């Protein structure tokens, strides 16, 4: 993405699972093929439907152990006042809070307003709270802030959120690593039990993922869970990139 490599990207994992089968990187098996993917955050296991000819949807994956890094953390956000956030890890760290705390509605407020508020939270948390990763301190950074509709308790109805990450980028999906982290937080708070499936919806595209905690585990000093996320990925095209040595912009440029 525009600010470098992701430590984890759930939607990319779903897509790469399908690609690995369709392009022969992994030998397929019916009705579902297991694909192991090494991500910067650690190994991720993908389960891809296979009908004997091509991959299909939905694809699901189980990520690295997810945990609650902080609960009910009071943060002073310039321009918005004091808010209370949770910080969860799902392959990368996110701050979570309801948009209502910032005077916004995740479903109806302007995206620009949501992005500005979430970015302010991210910067405030970075300054006021030090993260710790049990194995890799280079992963101990806040990737972004996820604003929610506040519906954290288990329900059959979808809960909506928007993820603002990296350099004020907005995720087009509910965010696979974010769903993983949010499930871990809900489990830690006793709001969801093992194998209870929740549906998460993007406030921008309305696309949906499901997530559930499938087993409890330990990750360093943290009580953690393994979370399974399910969603869809589709092919949109192919591209060939060419580098000519005399091209002064061959290493790319950033435009915003």
- The tokens for 120 are 């302010």
**How many Å apart are CA 28 and CA 22, to the nearest integer?**
9
**Nearest of 61, 58, 85, 67 to residue 9 by alpha carbon:** 61
Instruction: Give buried/exposed letters for 141-162 (b at 16+ CB in 10 A, else e).
Output: ebbbbbbbbeebeeeeebbbbb
φ and ψ of 35, to 5 deg: -120, 130
**How many Å apart are CA 86 and CA 149, to the nearest integer?**
14
**How many Å apart are CA 201 and CA 155, to the nearest integer?**
13
**How many Å apart are CA 39 and CA 33, to the nearest integer?**
19
| 36 is annotated as an active-site residue | no
φ and ψ of 24, to 5 deg: 75, 15
Rg, C-alpha atoms of the chain: 19
What are the beta bridge partners of residue 88?
68, 94
What are the beta bridge partners of residue 37?
44
Active site residues: 9
């Amino acid at each position: 993405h525009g600010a470098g490599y992701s430590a984890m990207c759930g939607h990319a994992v779903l897509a790469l699972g399908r690609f690995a089968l369709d392009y022969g990187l992994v030998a397929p098996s019916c009705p579902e093929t297991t694909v192991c993917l090494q991500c910067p955050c650690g190994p991720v296991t993908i389960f891809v439907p296979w009908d004997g000819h091509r991959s299909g949807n939905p694809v699901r994956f189980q990520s690295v152990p997810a945990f609650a890094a902080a609960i009910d953390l009071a943060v002073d956000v310039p321009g918005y006042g004091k808010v209370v956030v949770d910080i969860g890890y799902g392959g990368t760290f996110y701050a979570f809070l309801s948009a209502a705390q910032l005077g916004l509605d995740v479903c109806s407020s302007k995206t620009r307003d949501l992005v500005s508020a979430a970015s302010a939270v991210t910067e405030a948390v970075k300054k006021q709270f030090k993260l710790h990763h049990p194995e890799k301190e280079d992963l101990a950074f806040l990737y972004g802030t996820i604003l929610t509709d506040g519906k954290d308790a288990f329900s059959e109805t979808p809960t909506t959120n928007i993820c603002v990450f990296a350099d004020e980028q907005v995720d087009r999906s509910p965010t696979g690593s974010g769903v993983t982290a949010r499930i871990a937080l809900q489990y830690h708070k006793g709001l969801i039990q093992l194998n209870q499936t929740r549906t998460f919806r993007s406030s921008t595209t309305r696309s949906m993922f499901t997530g559930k905690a499938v087993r409890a585990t330990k990750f360093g000093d943290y009580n953690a869970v393994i979370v399974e996320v399910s969603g869809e990925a589709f092919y949109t095209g192919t591209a060939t990139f060419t580098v000519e040595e005399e091209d002064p912009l061959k290493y790319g440029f950033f435009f915003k």
